[in-house]
Amino acid sequence: MSLFKKNRRALLVLEDGSVFEGSAFAGAGEALGEVVFNTGMTGYQEIVTDPSYKGQIVAMTYPLIGNTGVNDEDMESSDLHLEGFIVREYSSRPSNWRMKKSLKDFLEDAGKIGLEGVDTRSLTRRLRLSGSMKGILSTEPGDVPALLEKARHYPGLVGRDLVRDVSCAEPYCWEKGAPGTVSLPPGKSAGKPRVVVLDCGVKYNILRILESNGCEVIVLPATATADQMLSYHPDGILLSNGPGDPSALPYLVDAARGVIGKTPVFGICLGHQILGQAVGGKTQKLKFGHHGVNQPVKNLETGRVEISSQNHGFVVVPESVGGKASPTFTNLNDATSEGMAIAGAMSVQYHPEAAPGPHDTEYLFSRFVAMMKKQR
């Protein structure tokens, strides 16, 4: 049985005037963001530490969250970047052999609000019908009209550069499964392909998989130019996932344009959108985005259907890159662009590193390594 009544009363107020009542199992105060839903049954720790959720309040559709606590191994960044977290029921007695702390303590240590007791099915239906909406979480719910006004004045994601808020400040090497020293190696390893990762909000599992594929991994801030990336003499460049509106990132588009054709390039999620713009394409916002671990994509080369992990609210408009890039994957739910190939570059809209989610498409990292080795 849930312990809702022991927590502080709290509200979620959406910009359309909808009010959802619950109680705060973590944190206090107010939090503004774009409200989205995630359909994953597992992986809440990876979700709350994914930098791509910057600027968003995430509601989980699975009804019971928090039962395994939080551990050191499943972090996807060093911090929490989402604005708030909504669940139907929080598991107040978590237990797992890897657990270091509860989800409640994890959120509170980061100053984030966790809301439970909300009818998440009703909330999800509203977001599906009306689209993602601006909203506010508050543990001081006395003045609903004032909260509604704040929600409506939240700037949202369109036109906003949130990458600078989540990117690393200084270059670093990824070593032995963790961020390492900022003192970079003096020369390239003879046996290891060197990958420069442009950190737009990179998930750690991207770096883990690159390292497990035998790569030397150097991570640079998102503001690095094409010349700065190439100065490390990489065998390949990876443009990472990240938050916000891809059309608000001209400096990233310029950087991508400057490296295409000079070394193999792999774009993931936001990196896919940046590559699309670099060849003259356009992006657009989805109604409610793709946030979950069960999105079917069709491999247009093999005809195979693969299940993917996804977290994005913007997509590349396929017609805008016609003749400039070849489509490689398409989403079977809504026919949106899920991948493309350019001479010397490839990209996918989904997350082949999963974390959380299925591993159907992890082979793309091996393909990227093969591209680099072929060019060495």
Task: Tell me the catalytic residues.
Answer: 269, 351, 353
Of 19, 206, 41, 39, which is closest to residue 119 (Cα–Cα)? 19
| 67, 91 contact by CB (below 8 A) | yes
Give the CA distances from residue 325 to residues 209, 263, 279, 328, in Å, rounded to whole numbers and listed in that order. Answer: 26, 17, 8, 9
Of 266, 267, 338, which is closest to residue 297 (Cα–Cα)? 338
| 238, 368 contact by CB (below 8 A) | yes
Looking at residue 118, the DSSP 8-state letter turns out to be: -
